[in-house]
Structure 1
């Protein structure tokens, strides 16, 4: 059985793996109900008393287990096969016992995610048409390679609506579409930031009628808003003109609602009133304003090309907040000016992908160690310095980081993106944010402890641990060596107590996605569980 992350993907196995990953991390391991049995991992549900087991590729070095089929349940003295839906039932029963609360939505969400992945696998196309520079084509492919989704989420592909509606807009099916254009009367255009930032996009769109400005819209979102009375009246009165789909194609990126327009080298982050995984993906009014405010505040702190700018947003100023938010689009800097070939970090860690394995630098153990050293050097210090030096909480998780590589695949720059998850620590930015509306300030702020937990989780658990495990899929003997090597990139500020604690080996926080789904809590309110710290110093030898 192949457990290197290159096995053929099935919706059943991917769903089972995600459920077991969550169960181990958030329920069984914290209660010391996990143990190895040869090449298998055995887990006991602490309250239900049920024992399960799965194949284990190798002993973990830190918080990442590499689990795979067969998945089995111990019943009446024997191990029998446990299908994904049986595992979902067992997980739900354990969580109900642990919390004293039921969640009638949970099994439906898991089933929807499994069904969505099956539909994606059936519809996944070959790479799209050519015509793009080689580096941009590889970048686009990386954005659309996250087929199985988050390995530590119980319903990573859960999407609201029928596949017949959303498959045409799914990144995993390598979707492209032309934006739908609206012309909005000048006095009804809402927006902030650099209005000229839209010029490159507007130049490729149909001409705006006199006295109007152009507004790109996501076709799916526009269909969801089509029956809003205020929008229907505005169209009937000529306040808004529907120009239809036009201009160059947009490529759907991993977030679904954000698209890349290669011809303009710009991203459009659209609102989408659809629940995807955890959240309805709309641009709330305070997030629209907050993106522009953060762009203004943070731009001077980062070297060019390390934080993708979000210089402006545009929407309609009609008397309907849902329209203002639902048609709001945030413009983001493109990738054309980045060095080498930008790749989505999530694609490098995709357990069923081939992006990382295709990099020449990883062909030998020595090359893999050099690659990892360069990777950590580009990613970790900038993310940590942003917090320690400036009180800026980046979210350097796998979907928020692009890694630029040279011709051999060696990392030459890490690029952070998406200001929605970026926060400012309370007390450090009070003067600079004093003029912002209260709700905008609240949305931009974390207390220091919460901010640090977010940085460490995203950087170490969500990101580096997954990359290290994927490299170890290629070279299994390296995983422990890689973490020993990584320590020096966390030792740049010896007076920082946060870094000293990390390097001393304190347990580190991992976001509890399973428990958050069970509690039906917002992503911002998600709790954390402690997991083993792979940066802990090597155990002393007794010889």
Structure 2
């Protein structure tokens, strides 16, 4: 208990060299970071279909997991929708564990070694992220004035992923320089590439051209570690919560390739997604027009790749385009709502839930399932904080049903590949898993709060087959830990959570 983990010691050693003033705060944040990651891991262990867990036995003092080899793992009664760090210790047979990486190592299950290393990095990086935050006296009471400041408020990363802050391959100096929560501007390199060697969709701006060459914005980490290139020309931008997407002051949001494993995935940009970007953008814009003004979709202005997922860029308009500054409106990423006082109001949470479900279910009925998690989904708030309408960004992982579109008389766009499906389960999982088990649950922060908001909201919605499935069936969520521990199985895997409106998952 409380022994420094090697990843924690490694970060401390690097921090002593590059930012020694943060060392004491970093050490003070480690216990809370361990509990935050352990709580996320406990959620996964208690609900995901991990093959080495054979049973789950609730008791008056918590929950006991039966492992395939006969051991028992005991911890508190789980709340799959909780965002607070409520798990500080779990017991494996007769041994207590307060560190998720050590627990995973001693579980000694298939593929645990790499995952345990990532958990160690997640704890250390989370403590570093928390240590770098301003104190209460330095934190202004006013709401942020620019879009990237909202994104930089999100310190803890994904509210449910145990690898919420895992950044393998990033030194401490690079985390401080590029992590949005550390609030440093980033110099994007401009890499010249012959236009004839690029796939371009949309309109590539003149200011990013040099004669017959395109200037592709490149993240500095990518330039050094992957491309092994230096860029003489640069532009200053501010990292958003995804780290690889940055806001250019007065300009677009720039999504860059970043071939590092952050949380779950390697963050490159596929040639496939570049090829579909213009078609998807135009289609989404026309579909948003069918929501009576409740939804805007940020337009893809241009996208380009030098025929490589490691060298590609997408330019999107800023979500701030859809707020009226004259009326005092602001656009807030849903993941940042937890940094405000708004979700503490049950009435506000119910109004927000009603708005998001109205839009999400309407689009699903038409034939599009949004991946509406807290990073992709933003809300336009009035000057008084009332939720008015939504903004959605990043269309790369939506799902489109040609059959549903055809039933509604909507022209089917020229799309192909994984984005196209008529499978009802796939469509519902995409929306419900991201919006309800993700954005709404993360904003509510507990099963009780989520249940109250859903009960109020669904009573006002049309009782479509999709709504019936939402209120009566177990709630899907991505099995993020199972996915990280199944290296030979690409694609999404799922867990079924107890429906907050009903009893336990069937």
TM-score, with length taken from structure 2: 0.79
The whole-number CA distance in structure 1 between the counterparts of 2:71 and 2:450 is: 31
1:258 corresponding residue in structure 2: 245
The whole-number CA distance in structure 1 between the counterparts of 2:314 and 2:334 is: 22
SS in structure 2 of the partner of residue 43 of structure 1: strand
The whole-number CA distance in structure 2 between the counterparts of 1:225 and 1:72 is: 40
1:382 to 349, 359, 374: 359
Unaligned runs of 5+ in 1: 1-6, 233-241, 350-354, 363-367, 538-543
1:111 to 107, 120, 123: 120
Map 1:257-296 → 2, pairs under 5 A: 257-264=244-251, 266-296=252-282
Contact 1:17 1:67 in 2 (8 A): yes
- Alpha-carbon distance change, 82 to 106 in structure 1, aligned in 2, over 3 angstroms: same
The whole-number CA distance in structure 1 between the counterparts of 2:320 and 2:310 is: 28
2:476 to 489, 504, 509: 509
Q: 2:468 aligned with 1:500, yes or no?
A: yes
- Alpha-carbon distance change, 48 to 215 in structure 1, aligned in 2, over 3 angstroms: same
TM-score, with length taken from structure 1: 0.74
Contact 2:38 2:99 in 1 (8 A): yes
2:44 corresponding residue in structure 1: 22
Contact 1:342 1:402 in 2 (8 A): yes
- Alpha-carbon distance change, 27 to 46 in structure 1, aligned in 2, over 3 angstroms: farther
Contact 1:124 1:173 in 2 (8 A): yes
Contact 2:304 2:313 in 1 (8 A): yes
Kindly provide the CA deviation profile for residues 92-124 of structure 1, in whole angstroms up to 9, marking residues without a partner as x.
44xx3xxxx445422222222223223333445
The whole-number CA distance in structure 1 between the counterparts of 2:379 and 2:315 is: 21
1:219 corresponding residue in structure 2: 220
The whole-number CA distance in structure 2 between the counterparts of 1:271 and 1:126 is: 33
- Alpha-carbon distance change, 182 to 481 in structure 1, aligned in 2, over 3 angstroms: closer
The whole-number CA distance in structure 2 between the counterparts of 1:209 and 1:502 is: 52
2:314 to 310, 320, 330: 330
Kindly provide the CA deviation profile for residues 231-287 of structure 1, in whole angstroms up to 9, marking residues without a partner as x.
x9xxxxxxxxx54224xx3111111111111321x1111111111122111111001
The whole-number CA distance in structure 2 between the counterparts of 1:432 and 1:65 is: 41
Map 1:348-367 → 2, pairs under 5 A: 348-349=337-338, 355-357=339-341, 359=342, 362=344
SS in structure 2 of the partner of residue 403 of structure 1: strand
1:33 corresponding residue in structure 2: 56
Kindly provide the CA deviation profile for residues 374-399 of structure 1, in whole angstroms up to 9, marking residues without a partner as x.
2012211111111112x112101121
The whole-number CA distance in structure 2 between the counterparts of 1:151 and 1:271 is: 24
The whole-number CA distance in structure 2 between the counterparts of 1:226 and 1:529 is: 37
Larger radius of gyration: 1
1:456 to 428, 432, 436: 432
Unaligned runs of 5+ in 2: 1-27, 324-328
2:24 corresponding residue in structure 1: none
Report the CA distance between 1:143 and its aligned residue: 1.1
Contact 1:21 1:67 in 2 (8 A): no
The whole-number CA distance in structure 1 between the counterparts of 2:381 and 2:450 is: 22
SS in structure 1 of the partner of residue 434 of structure 2: helix
Contact 2:399 2:419 in 1 (8 A): yes
- Alpha-carbon distance change, 145 to 333 in structure 1, aligned in 2, over 3 angstroms: same
The whole-number CA distance in structure 2 between the counterparts of 1:227 and 1:520 is: 28
SS in structure 2 of the partner of residue 514 of structure 1: helix
Report the CA distance between 1:401 and its aligned residue: 0.8
Contact 2:257 2:312 in 1 (8 A): yes
Kindly provide the CA deviation profile for residues 340-390 of structure 1, in whole angstroms up to 9, marking residues without a partner as x.
1211111224xxxxx133x4x84xxxxx2320122012211111111112x
- Alpha-carbon distance change, 70 to 297 in structure 1, aligned in 2, over 3 angstroms: closer
1:71 corresponding residue in structure 2: 89
2:130 to 104, 110, 121: 121
Contact 1:124 1:174 in 2 (8 A): no
Number of residue pairs matched by the alignment: 458
Q: 2:159 aligned with 1:158, yes or no?
A: no
The whole-number CA distance in structure 2 between the counterparts of 1:250 and 1:386 is: 33
Kindly provide the CA deviation profile for residues 58-85 of structure 1, in whole angstroms up to 9, marking residues without a partner as x.
x85x754855143141655xx8454333
- Alpha-carbon distance change, 209 to 465 in structure 1, aligned in 2, over 3 angstroms: closer
Provide the alpha-carbon RMSD of the alignment: 3.5
Contact 2:129 2:182 in 1 (8 A): yes
The whole-number CA distance in structure 2 between the counterparts of 1:388 and 1:443 is: 19
The whole-number CA distance in structure 2 between the counterparts of 1:257 and 1:89 is: 30
The whole-number CA distance in structure 1 between the counterparts of 2:175 and 2:388 is: 36
